Amino acid sequence: MPEAPKNTLKPTTDYNLELKNKKTLQFIEDVTSNADEVQKKVLEEILSRNAHVEYLQTRGLNGHTDRETFKKTMPVITYEDIQPHIDRIAN
């Protein structure tokens, strides 16, 4: 019968791996338990990085990065709504 592979990791490697796993699990827990706050921060970051973009400026966002202004200013759109902008940029 084949023998199971032996664990070749050193005790310090096991500890470091365990610590890394704990940190990763804690990150996942933080992100999922605070999803609303995380999404708010992500939206603010996206809007901050793209404040100068013509599309957002012509829609009246004018550099605002808060969720409330975004929700009031930007309608829900489809691909067809922005296809002319995409085509213009691509060509």
Higher pLDDT, 76 or 14: 76
Structural domain boundaries in the chain = 11-90
pLDDT in tens, 19-74: 889 999 998 898 889 889 889 999 999 999 999 998 899 999 999 999 999 999 99
pLDDT for the residue 38? 87
pLDDT for the residue 10? 60
pLDDT confidence of 18, banded at 50, 70, 90?
confident
pTM: 0.62
Region of residue 20 (left: phi > 0; alpha: psi -120 to 50; beta: else): alpha
Residues 6+ apart with CB under 8 A from 47: 56, 61, 64, 65, 70
Predicted confidence (pLDDT) at residue 6 exceeds the cutoff of 90: no
Single-letter amino acid code for the residue at 38: V
Compute the chain's Rg from CA coordinates: 23
Predicted confidence (pLDDT) at residue 1 exceeds the cutoff of 60: no
pLDDT for the residue 31? 82
